[in-house]
Amino acid sequence: MLKRNTCLTICLIVVNFLAAQQANIDNLKQQGSITANDTLRLVSYRNLSRLFAEVDPDSAYHYAEKSLQLSRQLHFKLDEGSALREMGYALLNKGNYPRSLKTVLSAMAILENPKSEEKVLVGKFPGDDELIYRTASPHEQRLSEIAFTHQILGVLYANSNNYEKALVHHLEGKQKAEESGNIPLQSIINMTMGRVYLNLKKPDSALISELLAYKQIMQKGYTRYLGSALLNTGRIYFAMGEKDSAIHFYRRALDASKKYYYFRGVAASNLALADIHKQMNRPDSNLFYIRNALSAAYDLDAPDLFLRAYTALAGYYKTSGNNDSAVKYQSLIIKINDSLFNSKQAQDFQNIDFDERQRQQDIETANGAYRNKVRTNMLLFGIAIFLLIAIILWRNGLQRKKANTLLSTQKKELETTLSKLQVTQKQLIQSEKMASLGELTAGIAHEIQNPLNFVNNFSEVNTELIDEMKEQLALDNKQQALEIANDIKENEQKINYHGKRADSIVKGMLQHSRSSTGQKEPVDINNLVDECLRLSFHGMRAKDNSFNAKSETDFDTTITTVNVVSQEIGRVMLNLFTNSFYSVLQKQKTASGDFEPVVSVKTKMHPGAVHIIVRDNGNGIPQRVIDKIFQPFFTTKPTGEGTGLGLSMSYDIITKGHGGELKVETKEGEFAEFTIILPI
């Protein structure tokens, strides 16, 4: 009765799985049979092979073989390697380890070739399993397939009790899976690698791997193999002597395997529970779980599970004294071993493994020979290059001696030329200063003439008034004489005023003309700018009596004094004003009669700086030369009318001498505006 209930339970699980998956299977089969698109047929066959991988190895092999044929026909090398891998996995589950190893190694040979990335399906296709990873790039897909193939090789070698080699393949697979970014595959590799660590008596490493696998399963929600991860965790705790924890995880593994239709997990979890109950001397529970496992093995037709279930039953019946049943299951064990796990199969497996190792060794030998050949060629090439370089260096040495002699001569010539250029440059700068002084003198001559005229006129008037006062005194007309004396006094005050005005102009001239000490001192910027504007205007008038222009000022009265070198700032202002008056004069010569030349200056206080803005409505500056105007010796004036040093000197005075900025904004034919920014 117990056996019948157990079989019924397992059958119900299988039925539920088939019912849940039948629609998907039917859809994939239909696509594979009726679609005219070979690519979709290939996708359907591969998905069917993966779907049947843990349920029906014969069907999995069948659809993997179809996928192999179609991938070869379409020249999809990556799908060809994947199909061979699925065929190898199906053969593994059928217990044919030699053929499985040979097939999986064939898959690896294809996948390790980078050319398999050249023609790859990329995208989301109907029925895709997350392990297939078609949404990734071709390179990531190839890395994922290599990792998956290493995992299957690791399982094969673990089933053949070669755990050291199994670990090597698992570690290789883990690295490739991490490079590919395929987290579901990483969880599977960590899961089966934990079992390998356990067989190598490394329970701590095994537990780390299983916990990581569980974390990755939960992270991506790929729960198909959750039962296997929980089962392996239980085995680890059992090996560590923690039976309660082991039972807890075995039961969780059984529940998860049933829930997610992982029937190998159902059988293996039952066998694990049977074994632990046997050790706890619970024969009824032991038999219950063994029969559950055997029922699942029947449904899967899995020889390895048959062998494990028969072994457990033989042990149970032997312990219970039922020798007939024990002999029965012992004979079944012998039959399975003879048909599948016999010495011939083991020898075939070893031969294939040896051939693979020999192939890898031959490849490594060939690679080593190639590397040696390359090293030899590189050495010969290096020697040839060395000799060539030695010859070139020897030849260059001879040429260098000749060149050094020539360079020494040229250096002396260049030093002489440089000295001459420096002298010439100083002369040009002095010439520019003298030109500025000449323009300044012309302006001052006009400025000083007015007060001198006043002095002369009032002096002549006073002479006449003195004579008149004498006459009135002679007539004893004291009142009239006093009035004349008052007039004389007023005239003397005017003479004194205009005399001081002339004195101020002369002092200003001396201040502008004398060499700068370079010392900054507080200067009334508004007064300095206004004085330079008037001097520049009169200097231009002295050159051309017909010239006239409107001068506009807008001084910020909040500006008091600024620490500057007044002589240098004066030169800058004179230069800018002279250029502005020259520009409006040139435009006036060609413009219509209603053109009014205007030169304006504006000062403005800004946070941390004073701005001085000089603007004219002359011809402006051509855009093509705007970047050159501050270069030494560059001028747009005709030959003989400018040295090209004015703006260059002004730029150096403002930027280097005062740490400020000199900017220009212009529109050809309309205006030019220079802005001086002086930090305070």
DSSP 346-394: HHHHHHHHHHHHHHHHHHHHHHHHHHHHHHHHHHHHHHHHHHHHHHHHH
pLDDT for 151: 95
The contacts of residue 58 (CB under 8 Å, 6+ apart) are 90, 94, 301
Give the CATH number of the domain where residue 99 resides. Answer: 1.25.40.10
Structural domain includes residue 350: no
**3-class state of residue 528 by DSSP:** helix
pLDDT for 357: 66
| 446: pLDDT strictly greater than 60 | no
Query: Higher confidence at residue 116 or residue 363?
Result: 116
- For residue 112, count other CB atoms closer than 10 A to its CB: 13
Contact 101, 127 (CB under 8 A): no
Per the structure, how many domains does the chain have? 3
**Are 440 and 550 in the same domain?**
no
Structural domain includes residue 51: yes
**Are 408 and 536 in the same domain?**
no
Element (H, E) at 325: helix 323-339
Structural domain includes residue 462: yes
| 133: pLDDT strictly greater than 70 | yes
**Are 538 and 618 in the same domain?**
yes
Percent of the chain with pLDDT over 70: 83
pLDDT for 31: 44
Structural domain includes residue 491: yes
pLDDT tens digits, 617-656? 999 999 888 888 888 777 777 765 666 778 888 998 999 8
Structural domain includes residue 59: yes
Q: Decide which of 135, 157, 181 is a domain's last residue.
A: 135
**Are 503 and 572 in the same domain?**
no
pLDDT for 597: 94
Structural domain includes residue 405: yes
pLDDT band of residue 14 (cuts 50, 70, 90) is very low
The contacts of residue 642 (CB under 8 Å, 6+ apart) are 635, 636
| 75: pLDDT strictly greater than 50 | yes
Structural domain includes residue 363: yes
**Are 670 and 529 in the same domain?**
yes
pLDDT tens digits, 285-337? 889 999 998 888 888 777 888 888 888 988 888 888 888 888 888 888 888 77
pLDDT band of residue 350 (cuts 50, 70, 90) is low
**Are 77 and 109 in the same domain?**
yes
pLDDT for 501: 66
pTM exceeds cut of 0.75: no
If we measure between CA atoms, which residue out of 168, 159, 215 comes closest to residue 187? 215
CA separation for the pair 428, 439 (Å, rounded): 16
**Are 534 and 601 in the same domain?**
yes
pLDDT for 408: 81
**Are 378 and 452 in the same domain?**
yes
Q: Which residue has the tokens 């500025």?
A: 436
pLDDT for 388: 87
**Are 530 and 673 in the same domain?**
yes
| 130: pLDDT strictly greater than 80 | no
| 248: pLDDT strictly greater than 50 | yes
Give the β-pairing of 671-679 and 661-667: antiparallel
Structural domain includes residue 304: no
**Are 540 and 666 in the same domain?**
yes
Q: Decide which of 442, 474, 508 is a domain's last residue.
A: 508
**Are 538 and 411 in the same domain?**
no
**Are 440 and 561 in the same domain?**
no
pLDDT for 348: 66
Mean pLDDT, the chain, as a whole number?
83
pLDDT tens digits, 549-605? 999 999 999 998 999 998 889 889 999 999 999 999 999 888 877 889 999 999 999
CA separation for the pair 383, 399 (Å, rounded): 24
Q: Decide which of 135, 170, 199 is a domain's last residue.
A: 135
What range does the domain containing 663 cover? 519-679
